[in-house]
Structure 1
Amino acid sequence: MNINKLRYCNHEYEWELEPVVLSNLTLLVGASGVGKTQILEAIINLQQIAKGASLNGIEWDVEFVIKNNNYQWKGEFEKQEISPFLEEIEKIKKKRYRVIQEELYRNGKVIVKRRLNEIIFNNNKLPKLSPFQSLIEILREEDIAPIRDGFSKIIQSTRSIENAANEFSFLIVASILSKDLFSVEEIQKSDFPIPIKLGLAYKYVPNVFNVVKERFIDIFTSVEDIKINFLEIDSDKGFSEKQLVSVSESQQSFIYIKEKGVNHWINQRHISSGMLKTLLQISKLYLSTQDTVILIDEFENSLGINCIDVVTDLLLENKNMQFIITSHHPYIINNIPMEYWKIVTRRGGVVTATNAKEFNLGKSRHQAFMQLINLDAYREGITVR
């Protein structure tokens, strides 16, 4: 999947993203508070809508490519007024909102169109269906299935990767290591979290694991080896309650590193967060499918300062995935070509992401960067209506 263009409105919070064109690598830059993170969150919300989520007051228009087909998906949920006091209660109750209108086009031809209770699919009127879910979810078994699959390949990196690694115990790994063989393609296409994919690569495709390891050691030269430790239990017998308690109490580690001159292996709980995040970030680049969309908020906060250059180079090398990232870090901005920059500004609740070339920045990367950091649009970025 590759997202080409996006317009998004949240009528509940009176927030709007004007149409923005996205490339295989898009770097969102701008002052704090202009809406860079909200752009990534908008994409995640579309992923959730495609899975059946019902979101108050959301309106969208997104163009994307899946397997050489061009799609446009437009829609809008009703807006209901909810007091701040009741907002959390409504979330807990999982309040649902009706779809007002929705349209899906493939290569310019309408596939399905909805207006309140009427749905026309391939020129045929459908019986009454759920008014609270998107057509991507409702018709997922039809020829719309590739779209839902495409949205499932959006990966968000805003939460702590270190915490993600700690969430998956040996038992999860043991339960999926019952297959005799995993190819790298099967691992990439799976829905497993990156830490689990890394474990599978370690066991079944060591050549790929070794590439990840070598890139990691290029950054952390004090490290000489990495291993994945997992508990294998006979899947035919299952897990006894005693085994579950034992593993839970021991909180065994999953990832281990070996440093030069140190006799013992360092377990995951004692690996620095910068090291762990970098390892899993590199793993993501090698163990995700080529049509993955990767969202990274504040790229510099995912990595240690000495890791930024190598991982940035990996992003630029990888032409078959789409990366939409935000950053304030001078090194990242200065080392990503200007044609990938989108300068984000906000006027009231309206957010705009503008191509850097429209600001007539210098031709060289250094000149462009120096002019960028002195732009009012970059330093301030927010104006009132």
Structure 2
Amino acid sequence: MKIKKVAFWDNLRGWRFEPICFSNLALLVGVSGVGKTQILQGLLNLQKIANGFSLNGLAWDIIFSTINDVEYHWQGEFETKKNPVLIPDENESSNFRIVRENLFRNGDIIIERNSTEIKFKGKTTPKLSPFQSTIQIFNQEEDIYPVQQGLNKIIYSDTFNFKSSFNVFLGMPQSLISVNTVLGIPQSLISRFSTSNSSLDSLKASNLPIFIKIALIARYYPEIFSKIKRTFIDVFPQVEDVKIEAVENNNNPSSPSFPIQIKEKGVNNWIFQNYISSGMLKTLVHISELYLSPAGTVILIDEFENSLGINCIDVVTDLIVENRNIQFILTSHHPYIINNIGMEHWKIVTRQGGVVTVKDAKDLNLGKSRHQAFTQLINLEEYSEGIKV
């Protein structure tokens, strides 16, 4: 999918995010607290809503296209309960009703919903769940399935959360995980991705954590793992080799049983994943995401500069800018990052009270050269004083 335009309203907190237009690459810049991270969270909330979650006081309006260039326009709003129950009784519903919802496909309305009825392609449906979006309710319908499928291609890239999720798989209860004793990978995944080359596409499209994907790629698609490894070594020439091998961790179940290991020149022992620098590990994650994410993926990266060294930023940034099949939405307030991504990709975020506004660099008449534009940006009142009461 490709997100074209989005707006949010958080009626519980009284926040409003004015419409934001996106291209293949967007760098949200601004001082801390203006709402950059909340924009990413809003996109993740839309993914949750499309999968049946009920969110208090949230309203939305998003336009996006699928990989087949079909354009969808999805609007909706949940009721607002000002005093939500923090720890609801198990017999008490914590769901919130949808008060309105509309879905357009290439300009034609296919879902009309209010607080009392739902019309699907002009016909009133039987009584359905008032708490779930129609995207979840009708997710098997030909015209609706691409919406849920597209929104499920949104990935929040977080190296550190991935570290703690090696043995937790989305949609797979822990009790059903049968661990393979060779690599620590569930046997169901071994069977699923080792049968034919066509499984590579399903592996890329899966919602598995990136480290699990890397482990499977290393075992079953060594030619792709070699490409990832070569790119990584180009960034870190002191690295001689990268591998993933089985390691027994019976005394520490929170650690992976198939850690990434690197071999540095002049160092005898392999360096295990827990001892690899966070910058190197995060760089490897970003490189792997570029190779292992299917076309139409939307990757969200908050505070892009975190844990990336100067030598990593240039290469990873170039890979992101050059990739045309994946949409990237990044946040940063680091001068080096901003100055190394073209100003045509800048989205300057400001906030006045609870109203968040995003402007393009051209809207602020910044200079023609990148350096001149950057100098003007950091001196702008909208940038340096991004929050007003």
For normalisation by structure 1, the TM-score amounts to 0.91
Q: Is 1:343 equivalent to 2:348 in the alignment?
A: yes
Letter in structure 2 aligned against 1:228 = I
2:283 aligns with one of 274, 278, 284: 278
CA contact (8 A) 1:8 1:16 kept: yes
2:180 aligns with none
Instruction: Provide the residue aligned with 1:181 in structure 2.
Output: 196
In structure 1, the partner of 2:240 is 224
**2:208 aligned partner:** 192
CA separation in 2, counterparts of 1:91 and 1:4? 40
Alpha carbons of 1:244 and 1:28: their partners in 2 closer, same or farther (altered >3 Å)? closer
**Counterparts of 1:70 and 1:251, CA distance in 2:** 41
Q: Is contact 1:17–1:350 with CA below 8 Å preserved after alignment?
A: yes
What's the CA shift string for 1:1-25, capped at 9, x where partnerless?
0010001000000010011111110
- Structure 1: distance between partners of 2:89 and 2:298: 28
Aligned to 1:376: 381
Q: TM-score under structure 2 normalisation?
A: 0.90
Report the equivalent of 2:176: none
- Deviation of 1:253 after TM superposition, in Å, equals 4.7
- Aligned partner of 2:173 in structure 1 is none
Give the alignment of 1:1-385 within 5 angstroms: 1-66=1-66, 67-82=68-83, 86=85, 88-90=86-88, 95-143=94-142, 144-157=144-157, 159=158, 161-169=159-167, 170-178=183-191, 179-183=194-198, 184-230=200-246, 248=253, 252-384=257-389
Question: Do the aligned partners of 1:253 and 1:268 also contact (CA within 8 Å) in 2?
Answer: no
Cα RMSD after superposing both structures? 2.1
Q: Work out the CA distance in 1 between the residues paired with 2:5 and 2:386.
A: 22
Aligned counterparts of 2:128 and 2:256: Cα–Cα separation in 1: 46
The structural deviation recorded for 1:245 is 5.8
Q: Which has the higher helix share?
A: 1
**Quick check: 1:162–1:276 contact (8 Å CA) kept in 2?**
no
Matched to 2:190, the amino acid is L
Query: How far 1:250 moved relative to its partner?
Result: 8.2
SS at match of 2:336: helix
Aligned residues: 368
**2-structure distance, mates of 1:280, 1:252:** 18
Cα distance in 1 for partners of 2:258, 2:141 equals: 43
Alpha-carbon separation, structure 2, partners of 1:365 and 1:254: 41
Q: Which amino acid aligns with 2:99?
A: I
Equivalent-residue separation in structure 1 for 2:14 and 2:291 (angstroms): 39
Give the C-alpha shift of residue 252 in structure 1: 3.9
- 3-state SS in 2 of match to 1:64: strand
Contact 2:78 2:96 in 1 (8 A): yes
Question: Could you list the runs of 5+ residues in structure 1 that have no partner in the other structure?
Answer: 232-242
Distance across 2 between alignment mates of 1:353 and 1:123: 36
Identity of aligned residues (%): 54
Gaps of 5+ in 2: 168-182
Mapped to 2, the partners of 1:214 and 1:99 lie a distance apart of: 49
Q: CA deviation digits over 1:45-66, x for unaligned, max 9?
A: 1110001110111111100001
Is the 2:165–2:209 contact (alpha carbons within 8 Å) kept by the matching residues of 1? no
Which residue pairs with 1:239 in the alignment?
Answer: none
8 Å CA contact 1:173–1:199 kept in 2: the answer is no
Q: Deviations over 1:101-123 (max 9, x none)?
A: 00000000001111112111012
Instruction: Find the aligned partners of 1:105 and 1:294 in 2 and give their Cα distance.
Output: 24
Q: Distance in 1 between matches of 2:340 and 2:209?
A: 29
Structure 1 CA distance for aligned equivalents of residues 373 and 81 of structure 2: 45
- Partner Cα separation in structure 1 for residue 371 and residue 256 of structure 2: 48
In 2, Cα distance between equivalents of 1:49 and 1:163: 22
Equivalent position amino acid for 1:327 in 2: S
CA offsets 1:206-262 (integer angstroms, 9 cap, x no match): 22111111111111111111111247xxxxxxxxxxx99678398645111111122
Any conservation in 1 of the 2:184–2:258 contact (CA below 8 Å)? Answer: no
How many Å apart are 1:186 and its aligned residue?
2.7
How far is 1:125 from its partner? 1.0
Q: Deviation string for 1:87-110 (max 9, x for gaps)? A: x32499761100000000000000
